[in-house]
Structures are given as C-alpha cells and as structure tokens.
Amino acid sequence: MRRAPTSHRADHPPRPDRPPRPDRPPYGPRPTRQRRAPHPHYRTTRATGPPALPALPALPAPPYQPHRRTTRTADQCWEKTVLLDGRSVVITGAGSGVGRASALLFAAEGAQVVCADVREDWAAETVRLIAEQPGAKGAGVAQRCDVTVPADVDAAVATAVGRFGRLDVMFNNAGIATPVFGMRTEDHTLDQIEALMAVNIRGVLLGCQAAVRQFRAQGGGGVIVNTGSVAGLVGWGGTVYGATKGAVNQLTRGVAVECAADDIRVNAICPAAMPATNFMVPGAEAGSQGIGEEEARAVGASHPLGRPITAEDCAAAALFLASDAARNITGVLLPVDGGFVAQ
C-alpha cells in the first residue's frame, strides 16, 4: 500500500547541529513564492502594442488623362518578350545547322544578323529564310567569311558595324567535324589535323580577337558565344576533333576572365551529336542534311533523356547566353546533350 505523500521536511527533521532558519518553519511545505510584478513598460506594450508611427502626408492624386490607357488588353498581356531587340549579331557558320537555326531564332527575337559562312550561297539562303519568317522582328545580311583568314573575320565585324552601327554579340559557331565518322587517331593525316585545328581553334580565336577589339573600341561591353562540344568535356567522339573543342572550351574560360572587367561576357555551348544536321555528314552539299532516322534514334538512345540533339536546341541555348537573361553569367560551358556528360 502506498503511503500518503508527506513533506520532505516532515520526513527529515532538521539536524540538531543546524538550527532552523528563522524565515521559514522547521518542517512542512515551502511557502509559496510571490510573483514579482511586471515592469510597467511591459504591461503597456502588451496591452496597447508598440507606439504608432506618425502618419505620412498624403500624396497628391495624378492628373486625370483620358487618352492614357490604364488597362492592358489580352494580346498585350500575352505579348512575347523580345530578347535581342535591335542587337547587332555576327554568326559564323550561319549557312547550315546550328548557325542557320540560331540566325533564324535571333532574328525572330529582334536581332540584326550578319550571316557569315564560307559558302556564300548557303548564307544567302539563310538570309532568305529570315526574310520569309513570319513575325520576325530582325533582319539578316549575307557575308562570305573564311574563319581561318583574319581579314574575313574582321570584314564580318565591319559589316555589322557599318550596317547596324555597332557589334553586340559575336557567335563563333563555325567548325568542322572528324573527316570520317569514327575515324581513329592514327588514321588522321597531317592535312586533316591542320584543317581541324585551323577552323575549330584558329577560327574561334580570331573571332574572339575581332569581337574584343570592337567591344573595347565602342565601349559598353559585349557578348561572345562559342560553339564547343561535349567531345571537349569527355573522351567521346573523334580524338583530334575533341582536342580542338577542348581548346575552344579553355579559350572560352580564359577570355571570360580576361575581359570581365570590360563587361564582356564569354560563354560556350557544348552540343552532343546532332544527327539531323550536316555536321555528321562530312562533305554534305545541302544546308541541312543529316543521317537516317534509325541512326538518329540510336544516337538519341545514348542520352539519358533519350532524345537526339537538334540544331534548334543549341540555338535556344545560345540565345539565352547572348541575351540579358544571362547578364551575370560568364565563363560557362553549357552542355546541350540530354544529360550525356552527367552520367
């Protein structure tokens, strides 16, 4: 049986050598401690809240303007933002593939595009497609340009400045692929190696030089977008081709750091294989020529997303990097690969 609770002091009487304190009884429960009264300020703030702020003077009402529209129509609410309105752009390799898709997209976003290509007839066809594009807010002009020749690259920049007043974006896109798909390193001839290095490395370097000179001369910064490759990020694709694209990737980062103080942004897109373009068909004679559908599906199956990369995918990535939406992005190598390099 449990015994009734008793006081601690009742169970343990005081020791004879320690007399009880005069302010409390020798046994029994402790007296209840009285709560101290709260501070007067505490009671005031709890009851009334913080002191009220002084009222601000009322602003005068704007004058009534009956001619001014105060609401937006449905078309205005859904109006698409133009990302490159009035920007002057040079795109090398604009006669096919990523270059043509980018020229069409940039022009649709309001850019004035110099379509530069070593095949002037291909560049002229891109300009024709821009002119026929419904709703295009920009325009295009064809320019023959061999990116391995400094005078040609300078002439493309001069065309942009002469026709549109300045240069805002330089898209160094021109490049060539491995001469034979799946070609081994030891099978490359010296001429093939030098051709890959001349177009893919020297061409991008000359484009960066010409753009930086113009950006610094006119002031106000500028944008450079280069076309690299996932072959420059991982050991995939032709070895010599991948080495040239690795150089493009490193050039992009180096120029980005070097020119950041002048507000010149430099980035690169790094596409995976694009079976719907003539880039996988060396020696193609058409501006848009790719491999068969079965082979394209096999290429897409190598990507985690399961889809092949298109020229339009790369154009959309380049548009983002060229626009003010990426105003605080520089030195970035943006893979357009369906997740290939993330594996």
Catalytically active residues, by annotation = 241
User: Tokens for 148?
Assistant: 């391995």
Closest C-alpha among 206, 196, 241, 240 to residue 226: 206
C-alpha–C-alpha distance, residues 296 and 274, integer Å: 8
Beta 264-271 vs 169-172: how paired, if at all?
Answer: unpaired
Cα-based distances in Å from 56 to 53, 61, 63 = 9, 15, 21
64 HSE (CA, 13 A, CB side): 1
C-alpha–C-alpha distance, residues 7 and 29, integer Å: 6
Beta strands in the chain (DSSP E): 88-92, 112-117, 139-144, 169-172, 222-227, 264-271, 333-336
Residue 122 Ramachandran class (φ > 0 left, ψ -120 to 50 alpha, else beta): alpha
User: Tokens for 135?
Assistant: 């709703």
Helix axes 97-108, 120-132, angle to 10 degrees: 30
Cβ partners under 8 Å of residue 91, min gap 6: 99, 102, 103, 106, 113, 114, 115, 116, 171, 173
Q: Is 86 exposed, middle or buried (0-12, 13-18, 19+ CB in 10 A)?
A: middle
Do residues 173 and 99 touch, judged by C-beta distance below 8 A?
Answer: yes
Residue 34 Ramachandran class (φ > 0 left, ψ -120 to 50 alpha, else beta): beta
Q: For residue 328, report the phi and psi dihedrals to the nearest 5 degrees.
A: -115, 25
- The 3-state DSSP composition of the chain as helix, strand, coil percent (nearest 5) reads 45, 10, 45
